Structure formats: structure tokens, C-alpha cells
Amino acid sequence: MRNLPAPSPETTWVGLIDSLRDNWGSSRDVVHRPMLTLILLARAQHGHSNEVRFNDIDECFRNAIREFAPSRDPSGLEYPFWYLRKNGFWEVEGAEKLPRVKSKDRPTRPGLVKHNPAGHVPEHLWKELTSTSGLIEGLACRIMDEFWPDRPRAALAASLGLTVRERPAAVSQP
């Protein structure tokens, strides 16, 4: 398994969040990593730990994806829980011990459920999130505007327990 690069000290949260769209291209509307990121932001906003176990957020994630993903048959938490590591602000503990999908570098869903690994945002990044006024809300709004531009922020935010301001109403010109 290859080691993922750690974010450099110059890396900003805005840059990390902007990388959620990387490598997907404009034709694919994938919202799984952004949804998991919003769940993590909600945890930070409520003062929860930076560490969360797979099984503790699986149901919340699946419900939110069913309601807010464009696909009629969306996949589950196993993909973003694993692949969010590529974005530089998520680590999965004990990743090397998880059973893999045959000929793939990703764990199986049953393996994730059984082993219930912990994932976490590195402590220095979590501290920045929780100590910088307005950062969580700003990042959440940025994600929602990018991935759910036509949906009201309030509905998505409420489903995840986030507190964010609604988009300003468009001003029409006479």
C-alpha cells in the first residue's frame, strides 16, 4: 500500500476542500467525499472528537446520500471513508489490516463493518477548524455551493446537524 503524502504546513483548509473535485472531471457528479466532509465539519461544529468510527456514521451518511445524491442507487460510506485520505485531511487507522476487494486497493464493506476502523482528521487541522471563527461554516457553505448549487443549504445542513447561513437571495435587475 502506498503512503499518502501529508499536507504541507502551507496547505489551507480552502485548498484541501477545493481538492474534493480533483480527478473526477465535470461529467461525473460524485458527492460522497463532500458529504463525508460535511459530516466531519458538523462534528467539529458541535465540539465532537476528530476521530469517528465507520459504524458510528454509516447510517447518517447513507440517509444523507439517499436524500441528496443525484444517483438513484448511490454507493455507501466505504468509498469516501477510504478515498478521502487522498485529499490530505483524513486518515484511517489500521488501514493495512483491513480485508481488500480482490485486485483493488480498497477495503471491502463487510471488512469495514466488522473491523469498524477509526478515521480522523489530523489533530493540527482539527484544532484549526475548531479554533478559527467562521471557518467551519465558510467551508461547509463552499462545499454546498460547489456540489449542491441548486439545493437550499438549510435542508442539507439540517440533515447533518450543521448550522450555516442560507445563500443570499438573488437581486433582480429592473
**pLDDT tens string 95-139:** 999 999 998 889 999 999 999 999 999 999 999 999 999 999 999
pLDDT for res 12: 85
C-alpha distance from residue 165 to each of 116, 155, 157, 159 (Å): 34, 11, 9, 14
Q: pLDDT band for position 7 (50/70/90)? A: very low
- Residue 167: is its pLDDT beyond 80? no
The residue ranges of every structural domain in the chain are 13-21+28-160
Q: Is 170 left (phi over 0), alpha (psi -120 to 50) or beta?
A: beta
